[in-house]
Structure 1
Amino acid sequence: MIEARPSRSAVGESEQFSQRDAVSVSARLGRLQFHHSGKFRVLQLSDVQDGPKVSADTISLIAAACDASRPDLVVFTGDQIAGYDAAYAKTFRKRRWSTGWDGVYAAGRSVSNWVGSALQGINGGQVQTAGTADASGDGPAPSLAEYEYADEGREKDLELTKDMVRRSIAQFLSPLIERGIPFAVTYGNHDFQCGLDTAQMDAIYREFPGCLNPEATAARPTQPRKQPGSGLPNQTVYACEPGTFALPVSDLNGRRNVFGLAIVDSGDYAKTGGYGVPSRAALTFLSQIPALLRTKAMVFQHIPIPQFYELLRPVPTTTPYAIQGYRAYDSQCFVLDENKTLAGSYLGEGISCPDADCGEFEIMRRSEGYFGLFAGHDHRNGFVGNYEGMMLGATPTCGFGSYGPVPRKRAARLFEFDIRHPHNPRTQLLEFGDLVGKPQTHKAYTFALSHMPSSTGDAVNLLRKPGVLAGGLATLAALFASLRASRRRR
């Protein structure tokens, strides 16, 4: 496992990706392209969602999935960093639009007061700023001198956060780096909460060999570019914003693009409540990608879109295993529609999509330039279906640091593309139980997180599982998890 800060020398680091024994065939060939076997493989990892010390079981799953699939590329689809972890208390941001004082020690007030205010929400969910009553509500607002003192300390706190985030990234990337597998990263609704914006995190990821995330400063989305230091010197990248870019995958000779990978930052939270949507720039970029690549593409992002509900079937609330919908859909309960989803799919919680449809699916459908969209975010969901000719899929968490399905069901998702029909990939979940076996660390904690309700509606969902109350196990597990991990939420 990598613990030390990696070198910033892109040339030195990329040399290992040119070695013949690199697991990724594309790394050996210098670009993302099909093998002579006619195959190309992508491994999706979602919701590592852990603090500075990543669970050893998470690392074991990532390593075993890489060995089992030998992917050309790994795509991380957000919430790699549990930004709410106590380690980031001093730089914690609950929402992007809240004041910069959410987690800062100032004027002799404790970190817990600031973070507590951010978590509980003041004045409709926002912490008050200078000139008003202080955030803790126990005295006058800090003076200008006190804020200046806090600013000086904040820079030190941010540097400490960067080091902790770098340490976390080094751990879950170590199986990839050891095997010579390049990777691409987008972000979720928890990454930024550590206090770093996506551009800062992008820069940290680029310190590691194999990172294909391009620098997005003054990006020109329609102009192809290379990514120095990625170890794939011949790979073309189209950059839009941090966490939003496109990667073409070429044929055996690198003469034409066979399909593309659209990596999209799907946003985090909406000011009106619920989850956010991709930026306008990202949506515009999505409309341009098919023409830029001259082929169809698949989208990878964190938050699912409302059309995922089209793969479900409404059922009475008394139906065993029924799942209550999320927010705009919470008046109904659902199960998977077997006529629209693949065998082996499962639904473990409501689909946490934005309340309003931003038009992303319509952009994909209207352009006729896409064949699928896969997301993470909902840790207990693992399904694939087809809606209006588009593959839609949910990938469960691969992490052991937050809530999710039972340990054996935590997984990575493999995609195998065949050059004879590249827009209809074969996909399957590579599950911990099959690849590794039983968790080796914090077994009771992991069990509790597997049975912990992630919301009020989820608590009711758990009660619909036949036998879940037998012996009071679900109640005890939920209580245990609340005591040990009350802040490790979706």
Structure 2
Amino acid sequence: MTELNQADNQTRGDERPLSVSARLGRLQFHNSGKFRVLQLADLQDGPKVSKDTIRLIAAALDAARPDLVIFTGNQIAGYDTAYAATFRKRHWTPAKSTRPERLDETRELVRGEIAAFTKPLVERGVPFAVTYGNHDFQCGLSNAELDELYRQVPGCLNVVPDTNGDASDGANAGADESPTNAAPLPHGTYDMPTPQSAPMSGLADQRVLPFGPGTFALPVMDAERTRDVLVLAVADSGDYSPEGGYGKPDERTLDFLYSVPEALGAKAIAFQHMPVPQYYDLLKVVEPNAPGAIQGYRAYESRYYALDETKTQPGSYLGEGISCPDFDGGEFAMLRDGGYFGLVAGHDHRNGFVGESEGVMMVATPTCGFGSYGPAPEKRAARLFEFDIRHPYNPRTQLLEFGDLVGKPSSRKAYSYDIASVKPEAEGMNLLHKKTLWSRLRALLRK
């Protein structure tokens, strides 16, 4: 019986971690040849986390039984009124108040919020990694201070950043002035830090290559522990640009990411908050009145777009313009040429698509939260990635939607917009290998 079979046969009395990797002490493929990651994007809530968000997280964990969860930024809605006293609009502007007592109040509120949405993971013994978006820091705490709070939670794989790498907090140097089709910027070889352990993660044998808050690399080994099969690179992709719009990772962060695959001897997939401009390569220009037409964002606002079905997988949908930096900072070219087979982003709450451009798998994941805008409540989702040892650089992925896993939301507070793009009934695969009770009932009602 494989570890995954054992997990599937888990009973209520079984106190072992739900994560097979947690049972084995490190991130690795199972004897079944599989390894699973669950992405949670844009939870984006205040101290009182929506019950439906927690229900979705818990249900997705139970359905997917992932080895690891990756939060890809904007967990904290820093603009929430609860954080008004210490609100910070941009990382280069001062907070409304820097009085120690005010910051301590915010710190305790954030600590409570983190405890609330990580509780399902802690209860099930699932380790997790965290990066940041453009709203987390707005509560008044820096990404380094947020990192410290996450590290106090059992299961956290974030480690103390490398002090020799000159890592920045916020990882945003502003938009580069080169157009999207500019030649890639040259990247030097980063002097890789000594791998560290993550004491709170529960993975006693796991190596973590640190760089800065929300930026580090996690190697994943084969079942025999003879080699690293792939690398999960978690990256702080920046927040805002002083020139306007969204920012990008700074050059030192890109140097670190560029050096990761060679240093570990395995190809990598990057998980971050912000999409890159090349996500528009998965779209096609359409007339404004075309079915499902979506206006582009900022630098792309003069045109309307729809998904290019020849470049995206079945079940993909486009619900808003891709909110990427105005200018290409060279990240995509670096990933493409530096040994990366995939890039996974959140940020755009109403987009859920998977495609490929220039040999790089590109993934957009909608919000899993109910505290901000997004698709209809039943379409809010976590995203499951299943890696197979036979072809580890071609993972299968599936959105685990609230409507299928949980049913109807308990609250009508979440505000939504219709998904404008014409899309199929469902994605092209079911990684759970079984239909939920709710999905079976919905199928009967459609007849």
Q: Which amino acid aligns with 2:59?
A: A
1:27 pairs with 2:22: yes
1:331 pairs with 2:302: yes
Separation (CA, whole Å) in 1 of partners of 2:200 and 2:386: 26
1:189 pairs with 2:125: no
Q: Residue 291 of structure 1: CA displacement?
A: 1.0
Q: Is the 8 A contact 1:222 1:292 kept in 2?
A: no
Separation (CA, whole Å) in 1 of partners of 2:266 and 2:301: 38
**1:381 alignment partner, one of 338, 345, 351:** 351
Separation (CA, whole Å) in 1 of partners of 2:118 and 2:135: 18
Secondary structure of 1:314 counterpart: strand
The equivalent residue for 2:185 is none
Instruction: Quickly say closer, same or farther: Cα 1:219–1:37, change in 2 above 3 A.
Output: farther
Higher helix share: 1
Secondary structure of 1:363 counterpart: helix
The equivalent residue for 2:397 is 427
Q: Residue 219 of structure 1: CA displacement?
A: 4.8
The equivalent residue for 2:336 is 365
Q: Residue 229 of structure 1: CA displacement?
A: 2.0
**1:312 alignment partner, one of 280, 283, 286:** 283
The equivalent residue for 2:3 is none
The equivalent residue for 2:317 is 346
Separation (CA, whole Å) in 2 of partners of 1:342 and 1:325: 21
Q: Residue 217 of structure 1: CA displacement?
A: 5.0
**2:378 alignment partner, one of 408, 433, 455:** 408
1:244 pairs with 2:239: no
Q: Which amino acid aligns with 2:305?
A: F
The equivalent residue for 1:66 is 61
**TM-score, scaled to structure 2:** 0.84
Separation (CA, whole Å) in 2 of partners of 1:272 and 1:296: 34
Separation (CA, whole Å) in 2 of partners of 1:401 and 1:29: 35
Q: Is the 8 A contact 2:342 2:360 kept in 1?
A: yes
Separation (CA, whole Å) in 2 of partners of 1:219 and 1:23: 36
Separation (CA, whole Å) in 1 of partners of 2:306 and 2:363: 15
**2:416 alignment partner, one of 443, 450, 460:** 450
Q: Which amino acid aligns with 2:62?
A: D
Structure with the greater alpha carbon radius of gyration: 1
Secondary structure of 2:103 counterpart: helix
Secondary structure of 2:123 counterpart: helix
Separation (CA, whole Å) in 2 of partners of 1:76 and 1:26: 18
Separation (CA, whole Å) in 1 of partners of 2:59 and 2:195: 34
Secondary structure of 2:356 counterpart: strand
1:175 pairs with 2:120: yes
Secondary structure of 2:201 counterpart: coil
**1:38 alignment partner, one of 26, 33, 39:** 33
Q: Which amino acid aligns with 1:25?
A: V
Q: Which moved more, 1:396-405 or 1:247-256?
A: 247-256
Q: Is the 8 A contact 1:219 1:239 kept in 2?
A: no
**2:260 alignment partner, one of 267, 279, 289:** 289
Q: Deviations over 1:433-470 (max 9, x none)?
A: 000001012x1x22xx1039xxxxxxxx97x99xxxxx
Secondary structure of 1:240 counterpart: strand
Secondary structure of 2:233 counterpart: strand
Structure 1 regions of 5+ residues with no counterpart? 1-18, 105-150, 453-460, 466-490
Separation (CA, whole Å) in 1 of partners of 2:156 and 2:94: 32
Q: Is the 8 A contact 1:219 1:241 kept in 2?
A: no
Secondary structure of 1:167 counterpart: helix
The equivalent residue for 2:364 is 394
Separation (CA, whole Å) in 2 of partners of 1:352 and 1:283: 20
The equivalent residue for 2:155 is 210
Instruction: Quickly say closer, same or farther: Cα 1:384–1:95, change in 2 above 3 A.
Output: same
Task: Spell out the pairing of 1:93-104 with structure 2 (5 A cutoff).
Answer: 93-100=88-95, 103-104=96-97
Q: Residue 238 of structure 1: CA displacement?
A: 0.5
Structure 2 regions of 5+ residues with no counterpart? 1-13, 166-191, 423-447
The equivalent residue for 1:123 is none
Separation (CA, whole Å) in 2 of partners of 1:41 and 1:160: 37
The equivalent residue for 1:356 is 327
The equivalent residue for 2:188 is none
Separation (CA, whole Å) in 2 of partners of 1:219 and 1:340: 41
Q: Is the 8 A contact 1:20 1:28 kept in 2?
A: no
**TM-score, scaled to structure 1:** 0.77
